Amino acid sequence: MDALILFAVLLLNVLISVWNCYAVGSAWKDTMVMGGWFNKTVLWSAVIQSGVGFSMPILLVLAYASSVFLTSGAEPMLTPEEAKEMMQAIFSLWYVAVIFPILGSGLAIWAHSLREAYRRRDFASIATAGWNSFAQIHNTVSAVNNIGGALGNVGELFGEALSGKGDGKGKVAILVILLVVISIVAGFMIAFGLVRYFANRAESRIEEFAASGMARRTAWVPRNQRSSIFPNRGWIVTAPPKHGPRAVFFNWRTSIF
């Protein structure tokens, strides 16, 4: 039953991450040209949520695969108890690394969803604001309840590694760091790739504003539009619209497994 719940949470987070990448890509061109600091913050917050969301299943696969490999064979490198401690350290280090970016980016997305619910006042926007409120409260309460234990697990492993207690503790600590870093980097690479994919295929309203005299094309790209990751357009908006991105973004629920 616990495995089924974990699978459902992972699937939900991956779907939310894919949707956020789509929403960011769809709104990227217009927001980078016409949006204010808050709208741009919302887009980057959704990218953070997506990157961390993709890293969760990647970490799970890497952690369990490493545990099986290190405890199998004629001469296993770790005992089942040591493998369990390693798994706890992996998930705890990942949680410590991502929880504060998740809370910060989730706060921006939550505020954006409240604003959209107030402006639109339809079922979809109100339901989204409700979900984001629930997810933000859940993540905050989870951080309060779990951050101490996660820091304790990480501190115990690295404390033993630094003090030289136990054979192979230093190697296990290095493996823990590598798996967490690989999962997070891979998660953000997937997120950046999806955002770029959707941004390249998204329709822009720039031409619509240009036709009405609200924007003009320039041969150079303004500094606030330059990026080595996402596509940009050489436009200057002379009369920015008051609304921000029309996309809907979602928070996702954190879990320490």
Interval 15-30: pLDDT, tens: 888 988 998 888 887 7
CA distances for 209 relative to 11, 33, 241, angstroms: 39, 11, 9
**Model pLDDT, residue 125:** 85
Q: Give the CA dihedral 210, 215, 221, 224, nearest 10 degrees.
A: -130
Which residues are 216's β-sheet partners? Answer: 236
157 vs 161: CA distance, rounded Å: 6
Q: What is the pTM of this model?
A: 0.78
Model confidence at 45, in pLDDT bands (50, 70, 90)? very high
* Any domain includes 40: yes
Domain hosting residue 99, numbered range: 2-237
Span 72-84, mean pLDDT? 81
Match 């041969």 to its residue by tokens. Answer: 219
SS3 state of residue 122: coil
Tokens coding 197: 């994919």
Span 47-57, mean pLDDT? 93
Which residues are 217's β-sheet partners? Answer: 235
* Residue among 250, 251, 247 nearest 28 (CA): 247
Cα atoms in the 13 Å half-sphere on the side-chain side of 221: 10
Mean pLDDT of the chain: 79
* Any domain includes 182: yes
* Residue among 16, 17, 45, 35 nearest 107 (CA): 45
* Any domain includes 248: no
Number of domains in the chain: 1
* Any domain includes 164: yes
* Any domain includes 229: yes
* Any domain includes 252: no
> 155: how many CB neighbours lie within 10 A of its CB?
13
For residue 192, pLDDT over 90 is answered with yes
**Model pLDDT, residue 173:** 85
* Residue among 256, 252, 248, 254 nearest 27 (CA): 248
* Any domain includes 32: yes
* Any domain includes 176: yes
For residue 61, pLDDT over 50 is answered with yes
